[in-house]
Amino acid sequence: MLPQAQFAAIALRDAGHTWIAGVKGEAAYEKWREENIHKEVASDSLCCQSIDTCTILPATDFHRRSREQRQVFGSSIRLDGMQSLKCIPLKAAVTLDGQSRPGQEQAIGTLVIGSKEKHLFPEDPEQLSGMIDILEILSNFGTIAIQNAQRFEKLERMATTDGLTGLHNHRRFKEMLDEEVKASLRYDRNLSMILSDIDFFKKVNDTYGHPMGDEVLRRVARVLSELARESDKVCRYGGEEFSVILPETDAKGAVLLAERFREKIMQQSFSIDGKEFGVTLSLGVCTMPEFARHRQELIDRSDQALYHAKRNGRNRTVHYSDIAKQEAQGE
């Protein structure tokens, strides 16, 4: 429709925040895309004004506007050189309790189309109106596609995420572990796994109630997530158990990280009705290929190490190699 267009972007809004979700354009804008993709858009920008008012902006020629009025994404996200530009809202029906409200629309984002040439959009009012009509129809199709993708993503996230802690659930844990085990065996790389358990968690529930127990679970999940490295996968294994998959991590590195987890949890304090209490973690660790030959053996031996930690006083980290040493010495 617009062969002269040199730049296009989609900004999406969710929970009051608007960010650049996609960029398409000439090669000259590739660096711009890398620098600005996923950045948040300023609330007073032309882009956000289009979303707020659910109207195409600007109504006048872009190149005739003052510099301040040409802040497409905000002063911190500069888009220099544009002479023609329109922000076309991505309109969707307003919903209440999952039901559409006829005749009411809101914008979930905006489509931004621009060019360094002044006459991307026709000067003739009739031609311009026809083009705008078609662009609005296309943006409506775009809105439907985006919403469908968002619904699919939400359903997928719900299927693989633990609702209480926000961590990967047990189903996703098994999928990710399968992937990492295959990579470990194929490329002869270390892979470690930590299996942890909150000590005396039943006592927490019995003494302080299940809502406080849930708060303990959420806090432990948050601490593990904050301390884990970017490549690590933190999961809720089940109940009060958590697992962490550690790609390309040897036994020493895994134990060091497990100890960081344990020590940080010991520092946490919980309060209810003026009473304060803390919790501790027991952790079992195993590493392949040195101490496990396949996925199930890695899980079983991490579990054995965890059981050993709990049986020998709790609030400690045990690597499966420690058990193997003891067994060898016993023999």
Clarify whether 35 is annotated catalytic: no
Q: How many CA atoms lie within 13 A of 148 on its CB side?
A: 6
CA–CA distance, 33 with 24 (Å, rounded to integer): 8
What is the DSSP secondary-structure string of 33-93? Answer: HHHHTTPBPPTTSHHHHHHHHTS-B-SS-GGGS-SGGG-SS-TTS--TT-SEEEEEEEEEE
How do beta strands 84-96 and 191-198 pair?
A: unpaired
Q: Which of 249, 247, 281, 277 is nearest to 262 (CA)?
A: 281
Phi-psi region of 20 (alpha: psi -120 to 50; beta: other; left: phi over 0): beta
The closest alpha carbon to 293, from 325, 257, 320, 323, belongs to 320
- Tokens linked to 70: 């040409």
Q: Would you say 47 and 56 are in contact if contact means Cβ atoms under 8 Å apart?
A: no
Which of 123, 136, 230, 240 is flagged as catalytic?
Answer: 240
Q: What are φ and ψ of residue 225, in 5° steps? A: -65, -40
239: left (phi over 0), alpha (psi -120 to 50) or beta: left
Cα–Cα dist 269/252, whole Å: 29
Contacts of 171 (CB under 8 A, 6+ apart): 159, 160
Structure tokens at 112: 């931004």
Active site residues: 240
